[in-house]
Amino acid sequence: MKRQAKIGLGGKINILGLEKLGSSSRSIVCPKCGRRHSGLCGIPGTVTGHTPSAGPGVTPRPKRKSSTPIYPIKIEPSYDVFEESSQIKVILNIPGVEEKEIKIFLEDKTIKVTAERRDRNYYETEIELKTEVKPEFSKKYHNGILTIILEVLEKKE
């Protein structure tokens, strides 16, 4: 009785009559294009390993110039607001920006924070506060975390 061996990728390549490189390499010589790569051109279910160049019946795809998006994307950062008796602390998650690119605007009970990232996308958010604050504030930016400390305006009665 003859034992049949399991046919793996190597067996399929031998069945098709293709030249096989060394046993440690998975590259083959493609009979269609003549190049060495990991798949077979035109055989469904295989990885081709290269993109065919322009030729008869082949329309080349336009090349992307960069990985950055054409239009900038507005990102709303996540934030937490901690209210204490004398101050309000706002903590925002703004990774990928330089401290000098962060702009903070304060009007009455609203804080507006904008920052531009290196990939042309930008952060923008408006935070409504429950109490009025002084127009002066301090900020600290470290490892993508922006902390804004605002002094609460004392109420006059």
Give the number of other Cβ atoms within 10 Å of residue 114's Cβ.
16
Residue 125 CB burial class (10 angstroms; 0-12, 13-18, ≥19): middle
Paired tokens of 91: 């903590």
Quick one: how far is CA 44 from the chain centroid? 31
Residue 81: per-residue pLDDT: 95
Bridge partners of residue 102, in order along the sequence? 115
Does the structure show a pLDDT above 50 at 19? Answer: no
Q: What is the C-alpha to C-alpha distance for residues 109 and 126, in angstroms, rounded to an integer?
A: 10
Is the alpha carbon torsion for 29, 35, 37, 40 positive or negative?
A: negative
Q: Which residue has the tokens 């083959």?
A: 28
Q: For residue range 89-123, list pLDDT tens digits in order.
A: 999 999 989 999 999 999 888 999 999 888 788 99
Task: Report yes or no: 125 and 77 within 8 Å, Cβ to Cβ.
Answer: yes
Domain ranges in the chain?
A: 8-50, 74-152
Residue 118: per-residue pLDDT: 80
Does the structure show a pLDDT above 70 at 27? Answer: no
CATH class of 74-152: mainly beta
Residue 146: per-residue pLDDT: 96
Which stretch of 61-75, 113-127, 134-148 has the lowest confidence by average pLDDT? Answer: 61-75
Asked whether the whole model's pTM tops 0.85, one would answer no
The residues, any chain, with a CB within 8 Å of residue 65's CB and separated by 6 or more, are none
Does the structure show a pLDDT above 50 at 22? Answer: no
What's the mean per-residue pLDDT of the chain? Answer: 75
Residue 3: per-residue pLDDT: 54
Residue 23: per-residue pLDDT: 43
